[in-house]
Structure 1
Amino acid sequence: MLQYMQLARMAMIKNDIQQHYFLYFLLSFLSAIFLFKFFFNKLTKPKASNLKLPPSPPMIPFIGHLHLLGPFFHESLQNLSTKYGPIFNLRLGVSRWCMVVQSASAAKEIFKTNDLSFAQHPKLPFADEIPYGESGFFSAPYGDYWKFIKKVCMNELFSTRQHERSRALREEELDRFLHEVFESAKKKDVVDVGVELMKLTNNIVCRMAMSTRCSEKNDEAERIRELVKETFEVGSKIFIGDVLGPLKRLAFWLYGSQVIDVTLRFDELLEKILKKHEDKTRKGENEDLMDVLLKVYNDDKAEVKMTRTHLKALLIDIFVGSTGTSTEAILWTLAELINHPNVFRKLREEIKLVVGSSRLVKESDVVNLPYLQAIVKETLRLYPPLPVTTRECRQACKIKGFDVPQNTMVAINLYAIMRDPELWDNPNEFWPERFLVSSKEHEDGISVAENSNFLTFGGGRRACPGGKLGLTMMHTAVAAMVQCFDWKVGGDHENKVKVNMEVGKGVFIHLAHPLKCLPVICFNPFASSIN
């Protein structure tokens, strides 16, 4: 026994020595890199005397301005603008420069005047070593392939024709969602609203993409849901390598294998689904997105040849891009409505006036529900799903008089623009009426709802292509939830508890705490089938 204890102690001492040596090595390596970068920059830094660059805060060696950025990236940038103005430069880590834009007029120059110069997202770190690399729609560089696949998506997935074709599917999934909530209401069970809404949005996307629901009984769809979650988690780890300069390889050593593992598992699943679709013959009304993509893949006369990797990368982009954002937007809307009962009542009255008291609200009713539309826009103004969008300058240009060198990363803070007190009255207040088209319009005849300050979905060629679908899901889900139920936070029957509006940490704006409510039935359009 004593011998084992001595061996264990020797092993611990050996481990401590190894850790100390590793720490000394790491510190020496970092110091060497810092000295190299310092002298290298002195010798090779290009003369910028002829360039007019935005102001920049004081830097710390090696980390640049990373110490100025808190857990809420969009708020950190917004705070910095009070001292350095709406346009300034930040150095993220060793060598990654980023131009921050937080004014609507500057964003307009990026999205419209110089749209072609900014028609590209920054290159993903380690894109050449990750299985799908830049084969997806969001990561692909601007060029023939990206333009071709955008045309395919806009014509075959997000077009008005396809939108109308999938309307019955969306209404069917909304009915399923409501039935589940009605069952909970009858049992007086508190509902985790976010979990139920995630099922709703995932079911819609899965059915539109591959004709299957994301229910617990469907192994493939459930695996997709879990893989999407893992993709977010490991992706955020490896992408920090982009700010480490010469040390970015360290991030890939630590997390690269996880990213590759998740991608390969996604690849295996998608390959299985693709083969199933290839064995089936679906035409016309029964076609889904995967059928459309397979037609393009098998079309030898297509403008750009799509490989199997392209197919699967595009499907991953759709699943990842649509997961969470629509759910969170609906959650924020319901939370604000609960905390503003007067707005809740006014919306319910509008729905009752337009729809009546005998049927469920439908997508076709939304056009006649202006207050509903105003509520959704106001929520998206306050809580844009992606608060900061990025671009890369493909060719040197000027923004608001400042020079933007080629390959510069640009971060447009949509959150700050849509809360700018110079553009919006009481910008931090939830006030849907600001978006109502009244008799008092602007001199140019354009209402507040149509101006260029509302940038939830970005702008230009790289704007979110699924904005229309996302709005449709938001409008109908919010309308149905208000029409059918009262929502008691945490089961509070006195209706005195308000929703905790704390924002969670992360890239996306989401509620920090689950929204759990007791649904109380107000109107049941399925009474005959449920009771």
Structure 2
Amino acid sequence: MDTLFLVKEIGVSILIFLITRLTFRSVFKNHGRKIPPGPRGWPVLGALPLMGSMPHVTLANMAKKYGPVMYLKMGTNSMVVASTPAAARAFLKTLDQNFSNRPPNAGATHLAYGAQDLVFAPYGSKWKLLRKLGNLHMLGGKALDDWGPIRDEEMGYMLRSMYDSSKKGEPVVVAEMLTYSMANMIGQVILSRRVFETKGSESNEFKDMVVELMTVAGYFNIGDFLPFLAKLDLQGIERGMKQLHKKFDALLTKMFQEHVASRHKRMGKPDFLDMVMDHHSEHTDGEKLTLTNIKALLLNLFTAGTDTSSSIIEWSLAEMMKNPSIMRKAHEEMDAVIGRERRLKESDIAKLPYFQAICKETYRKHPSTPLNLPRISSEPCQVNGFYIPANTRLNVNIWAIGRDPQVWDQPLEYKPERFLSGKNAKIDPRGNDFELIPFGAGRRICAGTRMGIVLVHYILGTLVHSFEWKLPHGMGELNMEEAFGLALQKKVPLAALVSPRLSPTAYIP
């Protein structure tokens, strides 16, 4: 017993020595240099215990005290948080190249095939090839135009299903419906087939997997900030990631094998995966893609491609149901431009300024990624007169920027009108106006920015134009609480009763 006690004492002493050494080395390394202000945090753990279950809210409140550029010690790591448009511009535009890489983390390792994907891959030739192929064959302007008929087809299926639900008096669970339809849209582009033939247990399981991935990937994992504790997996996060990865890998492997077996049927009509596979065996600019790269890219497209856009659509519908006057104004605009004899077309969007303002207002108040995906500095740099050490993790608090009273009038109110006049009328969410950067900015801006905007405009616009939206009978006030993750979900998924507003022929696929 004494021997066991002695071993434990020695182990604890060694651990304390190592932590103290790391801490003091960090302190002396930056001694005499003015780093940004921030909370003192706890011994060893730093600010990690302060984050709570809603880190974007915690960091926004801290920024009110410490300023737009804030420094936190997170375990053995350093982190800087930008919370205003000017601070975001300094990091994501002026210092974009220095912050062009992602920090190592458990999500990239266990979910994204060891950072072999487009989201987490190191900035370099492999990442550039993945980005180029994505833009050329799916995410770029011409590619998006080419698969417009697929969006139209799947939208027809969605409307018919909702029309049938309305006749039966059944509520529509928005997140389930969107995931099913958007996964099929993406599946048709990537694999030349619908991923789910019928909405049910299989598509709902996929939705749950996507939501779980986006949730766990957003956690502040202790092992990422205290690497010597990573193997202990104190929160159980990495164990969950590994189990989830196995499910996704099995699904993607099945898709891949079925696709390869059916390639002869697509001779002369290659789809996205066919064209990406052409870069598996041949070198392109000195690079070629491994099968792992390809599966990791598919994982990005199927998860981020469905979840981030669907969360914006769900929040938009919830806000309009909470504010019926906004829904009524959207209906009036759409009726004047489109009428009620046909459904909305993508070409109608440009003629609907109020509806576009609704989308921007949701991007502002409910950004799909509240804390922009983290980056890490390659070299020391200066921002606002402060010294930022090399290997400092960067988080841009997009959620805080959208609710900053110095930037927005009455920021907690949902007011699409703010984007109809004055300087706000010219603000665009594509990464150049730092007051509104729901997709990030710079060279690591979300690769699916264009696709996300197209999907939100077309799907949300069609849903608003085609139906009246009401809460199910007996349901009280609409719950607007958030659930933190890589994507900002509604804590309570939106379920609604819909009533057709258009001619019955508009609901025929």
Q: Same fold (TM over 0.5)?
A: yes
Contact 1:215–1:222 (CA under 8 A) maintained in structure 2: no
Quote the Cα distance in structure 2 between the aligned partners of 1:98 and 1:113: 18
Deviation at 1:138, TM superposition (A): 1.0
What root-mean-square deviation, in Å, do the aligned CA atoms of Structure 1 and Structure 2 show? 3.1
CA distance in 2, matches of 1:127, 1:294: 23
Q: 1:283 to 1:302 in 2, by over 3 A?
A: farther
2:111/2:244 contact within 8 Å kept: no
Match status 1:329 vs 2:312: yes
Using the TM superposition, give the Cα deviation of residue 117 of structure 1 relative to its aligned residue in structure 2, in angstroms.
Answer: 0.7
Aligned counterparts of 2:26 and 2:508: Cα–Cα separation in 1: 75
The one-letter code of the counterpart of 2:127 is W
Q: Which residue of 382, 386, 395 corresponds with 2:365?
A: 382
Which residue, 496, 515, 522 being the options, matches 2:501?
Answer: 522
SS in 2 for 1:157: helix
Aligned 8 A contact 2:381 2:388 in 1: yes
Measure how far apart 1:480 and its partner are.
1.9
C-alpha change, 1:99 and 1:182, in structure 2 (3 Å) is: same
Identity %: 31
User: In structure 1, what is the equivalent of residue 480 of structure 2?
Assistant: 501
Which stretch of structure 1 is more off in the superposition, 518-527 or 96-105?
518-527
**What is the SS of the residue equivalent to 1:323?**
helix
Give the CA deviation at 1:335: 0.8
Partner of 1:5: none
2:34 maps to which of 30, 48, 52: 52
State the distance in 1 between where 2:302 and 2:102 align: 19
Seen in structure 2, the aligned counterparts of structure 1 residues 193 and 409 have a Cα distance that, compared at 3 Å, is same
Change (3 A) 1:43 1:143: closer
- Tell which deviates more after alignment, 409-418 or 59-68: 59-68
Residue 407 of structure 1, aligned match among 378, 391, 399 = 391
1:221-260 equivalent positions in 2, closer than 5 A: 225=207, 227-229=209-211, 231-232=213-214, 239-251=221-233, 256=238, 259-260=241-242
CA–CA distance in structure 1, aligned partners of residues 383 and 467 of structure 2: 49
Shift of 1:514: 2.2
Contact 2:179 2:207 in 1 (8 A): no
Query: 1:235-254 deviations in whole A, cap 9, x for unaligned?
Result: 56794411234212211995
Letter in 1 for 2:20: F
| Cα pair 1:54 1:87 within 8 Å, conserved | yes
Question: Quick one: distance in 1 between partners of 2:31 and 2:273?
Answer: 53
The within-5 A match list for 1:74-473 is: 74-92=56-74, 94-125=75-106, 132-215=113-196, 217=198, 225=207, 227-229=209-211, 231-232=213-214, 239-251=221-233, 256=238, 259-279=241-261, 280-281=263-264, 286-301=269-284, 303-389=286-372, 390-436=374-420, 438=421, 440=422, 447-449=426-428, 451-473=433-455
SS at the partner of 2:497? strand
Kept in 2, the 8 Å contact 1:434–1:448? The answer is: no
Gaps of 5+ in 2: none
Over 3 Å counting, the alpha-carbon distance change for 1:162 and 1:47 in structure 2 is closer
More divergent stretch after superposition (501-510 vs 351-360): 501-510
Q: Secondary structure at the match of 1:117?
A: coil
Between 373-382 and 224-233, the greater mean CA deviation after superposition: 224-233
Q: SS in structure 1 opposite 2:98? A: helix
Segments of 5+ residues of structure 1 without an aligned counterpart are 1-16
Alpha-carbon separation, structure 2, partners of 1:229 and 1:33: 37
Kindly provide the CA deviation profile for residues 85-126 of structure 1, in whole angstroms up to 9, marking residues without a partner as x: 11111122x312111111111111111111111111112249
Question: Which residue type is aligned with residue 469 of structure 1?
Answer: M
Deviations 1:240-291 (A, max 9, x none): 4112342122119956565445434533443343333334146698432211
What secondary structure, in the 3-state scheme, does the structure 1 residue paired with 2:483 have? coil
Q: Confirm or deny: 8 A CA contact 2:345 2:458 kept in the other structure.
A: yes
Partner of 2:160, secondary structure, is: helix
Partner SS state of residue 327, structure 2: helix
Mapped pair 1:70 → 2:49? no
Whole-angstrom CA distance in 2 between matches of 1:476 and 1:48: 50
Q: Contact (CA 8 Å) 1:87, 1:102: kept in 2 or not?
A: yes
Higher relative contact order (CA 8 A, sep 6+): 2
Change (3 A) 1:235 1:328: closer
Q: Do the aligned partners of 2:377 and 2:393 also contact (CA within 8 Å) in 1?
A: yes
Structure 2 CA distance for aligned equivalents of residues 150 and 102 of structure 1: 28
Shift of 1:415: 0.7
Instruction: Give the total of aligned pairs.
Output: 501
How far apart, CA to CA, are the structure 1 residues paired with 2:57 and 2:481?
Answer: 13
Q: Who wins on radius of gyration, i.e. which is larger?
A: 1
Is this contact kept in 1: 2:110–2:245, CA < 8 A? no
Q: Please state how far the C-alpha of 1:381 moved relative to its aligned partner.
A: 0.5
Paired residue secondary structure (1:324): helix
CA distance in 1, matches of 2:202, 2:341: 38
Alpha carbons 2:140, 2:450 under 8 Å: kept: no
In 2 relative to 1, CA 404–515 (structure 1 residues): closer, same or farther, beyond 3 Å? same
Cα displacement (A) at 1:64: 1.1
SS in 1 for 2:482: coil
Q: Is the 1:56–1:88 Cα contact (8 Å) retained in structure 2? A: yes
Please tell me whether the aligned partners of residues 81 and 394 of structure 2 are also in contact (alpha carbons under 8 angstroms): yes
Query: Cα deviations across residues 464-508 of structure 1 (Å, max 9, x unaligned)?
Result: 11122112221122222222221111236xxx9542212124343
Alpha-carbon separation, structure 1, partners of 2:45 and 2:280: 45
Give the conservation status (yes or no) of the 8 Å contact 1:99–1:410: yes
Give per-residue Cα distances to partners, 1:4-63, cap 9 Å, x unaligned.
xxxxxxxxxxxxx9xxx99x9889855642343225544675342442200121222122
Matching residue's letter, 1:463: I
